[in-house]
């Protein structure tokens, strides 16, 4: 599967489920389970690539502001939920994380645990075992922020979410 085909599959599931993350996880898992072996493996590699691509300090700062704090696990879930919204959302967020204020969704739909697991479980059902994964970045890209001033970096998100 090409990256474009992976995005199409993700976006189709998003459009059917909107911000119902439980439904979206079920839809993507079932869609991956219907793929041939090589395509299921491609979805795993695609997910890993996108999760790594979104491992940036600016996105982590946005997640921190949106959630009133954000640790490693929360940021992992946030990145998966961002990817679940499709290519345009990821591209826009990477360019301007404050633009996440323009994307609908309650806070739970941004930090839902399990979207990446749904893809991995679907692939494992097809393949029997997951393909080799990684390497993954050990540090986020970009400039690190300070917790006491991070909200000021994201005025739109701050207005919507910051306590």
Task: Please check whether residue 142 lies inside any domain of the structure.
Answer: no
What range does the domain containing 13 cover? 3-132+148-161
The tens digit of pLDDT for each residue in 57-73 reads 999 999 999 999 999 99
Task: Please check whether residue 43 lies inside any domain of the structure.
Answer: yes
The whole-number mean pLDDT for each consecutive block of 10 residues of the chain, a chain of 163 residues, reads 98 94 98 98 98 98 97 98 97 97 88 97 97 93 96 96 86
Q: How many domains does the chain have?
A: 1
Task: Please check whether residue 138 lies inside any domain of the structure.
Answer: no
Distance separating the N- and C-terminal Cα atoms of the chain: 43
Task: Please check whether residue 143 lies inside any domain of the structure.
Answer: no
Task: Please check whether residue 90 lies inside any domain of the structure.
Answer: yes
Identify the bridge partners of residue 141 per DSSP, sorted by sequence position: 56
Nearest 5 degrees, angle CA 73-CA 65-CA 26?
A: 45
pLDDT of residue 104: 74
Task: Please check whether residue 139 lies inside any domain of the structure.
Answer: no
Place of tokens 């993954």: 136
The tens digit of pLDDT for each residue in 37-51 reads 999 999 999 999 999
Task: Please check whether residue 63 lies inside any domain of the structure.
Answer: yes
């Amino acid at each position: 599967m090409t990256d474009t085909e992976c995005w199409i599959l993700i976006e189709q599931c998003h459009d059917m489920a909107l911000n119902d993350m439980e439904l979206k996880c079920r839809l993507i898992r079932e869609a991956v389970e219907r793929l041939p072996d090589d395509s299921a493996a491609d979805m795993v590699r695609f997910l890993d690539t996108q999760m790594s691509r979104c491992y940036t300090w600016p996105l982590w700062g946005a997640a921190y502001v949106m959630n009133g704090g954000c640790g490693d696990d929360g940021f992992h879930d946030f990145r998966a939920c961002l990817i679940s919204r499709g290519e345009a959302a990821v591209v826009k967020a990477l360019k301007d994380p404050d633009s996440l204020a323009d994307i609908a969704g309650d806070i739970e739909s941004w930090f839902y645990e399990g979207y990446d697991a749904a893809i991995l479980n679907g692939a494992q059902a097809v393949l029997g075992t997951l393909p080799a994964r990684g390497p993954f970045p050990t540090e986020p890209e970009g400039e690190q922020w300070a917790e006491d001033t991070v909200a000021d970096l994201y005025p739109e998100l701050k207005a919507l979410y910051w306590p």
